[in-house]
Every structure is written in C-alpha cells, then in structure tokens.
C-alpha cells in the first residue's frame, strides 16, 4: 500500500496569508515500517504512557499511542488523546479517546486510562469472544 503525501506552502505577502497545497510525487512505503510501528504501539501499552489501557484480565492487548498538546498562547487549554486497536491477530475495534480541558489531568496517559476502562467493560460483556455471527453487543454506559 503506497500513499501520496501532501504539503502546504504558507507564505505572507503584503500582510496576507497565502496557503498553496502541493502534492508530492513520492510514494510512501508504509508496509515496510508497519512492524516497527506496531512494536512501538505495543511497547507504549506495556511499558509506556499507554500502560493504563492494559487489561490484565483479558486476552486482547491493545496497541496504542498517547499524545498531549498544550496551547498557552491564546487560551490555556490542553488536549490529551489515546488511539488504539485491540486484538492484533483479528482486529475487532479501533478506539480513540480525546480529552480537552484546562487542568493538568488532561493528558495522554489519562486518555489511555479511559480507554482501559472501555476495554475492560467490553471484555466483561464478552465483546472479544468469538460468538455467533450477528450477535449484538449492548451499549456501554459511561456512568453519566
């Protein structure tokens, strides 16, 4: 699977912002780097900032990546996220948790903790077991 990359050229001319998107002609050879990316995502869950997403009672280990962003220039706000997928052999779910706020608690590891609660709840509801086709899974209550 090759992907094309796009870049934007941003210039200021006579106090006006000029944005010109340009497509690069190079192909990105993504399949060659996927094993290393997966290894890094697994390490983040087992040993790094995503470890609070790990469900010790389950057979499915999520692979994920955390991130945190601060904006102190305009308004003091933070964004924390965790993106992941579970059951690498037979992926059943991709999950993204995005937190926004203006406290120090809003960060990637906190988003991973929320994802961990979701994964544990899914396991308790047998989401990851191989049941009959067409079985519906009840909605997960967030408690709110």
* Torsion sign (Cα): 107, 108, 109, 115: positive
Q: So what's the pLDDT on residue 32?
A: 87
Q: Domain residue spans in the chain?
A: 27-124
Element containing residue 113 per DSSP (H, E): helix 108-124
8-state DSSP, 126: T
Alpha carbons 6 and 12: distance in angstroms, whole number: 20
Record the tokens describing residue 40, joined without a space: 């890094």
Strand partners, 93: 86
Q: So what's the pLDDT on residue 135?
A: 47
pLDDT band at 34 (very low <50, low <70, confident <90, very high): confident
Least confident residue range of 47-56, 108-117, 123-132: 123-132
The pTM of the full predicted model, rounded to 2 decimals, is: 0.70
Query: Which residues, at least 6 apart from 24, have a Cβ–Cβ distance to it below 8 Å?
Result: 4, 5, 6, 7
Alpha carbons 81 and 108: distance in angstroms, whole number: 5
Question: 66-125, pLDDT tens digit by residue?
Answer: 999 887 766 778 899 999 998 777 778 899 999 999 888 999 999 999 999 999 998 898
Please, what CATH class does the domain formed by 27-124 belong to?
Answer: alpha beta
pLDDT at 133 over 50: no
Q: So what's the pLDDT on residue 132?
A: 46
Q: So what's the pLDDT on residue 134?
A: 44
Q: So what's the pLDDT on residue 19?
A: 62
Q: So what's the pLDDT on residue 91?
A: 79
């Amino acid at each position: 699977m090759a992907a094309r990359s796009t870049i934007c050229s941003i210039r200021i001319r006579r106090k006006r912002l000029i944005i010109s998107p340009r497509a690069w002609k190079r192909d990105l050879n993504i399949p060659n780097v996927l094993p290393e990316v997966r290894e890094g995502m697994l390490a983040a869950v087992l040993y790094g900032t995503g470890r609070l997403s790990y469900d010790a009672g389950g057979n499915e280990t999520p692979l994920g990546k955390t991130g945190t962003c601060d904006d102190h220039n305009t308004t003091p706000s933070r964004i924390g996220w965790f993106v992941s997928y579970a059951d690498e052999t037979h992926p059943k779910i991709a999950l993204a948790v995005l937190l926004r706020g203006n406290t120090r608690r809003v960060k990637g590891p906190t988003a991973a903790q929320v994802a961990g609660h979701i994964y544990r709840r899914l396991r308790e509801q047998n989401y990851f077991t191989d049941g009959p086709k067409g079985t519906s899974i009840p909605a997960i209550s967030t408690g709110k």
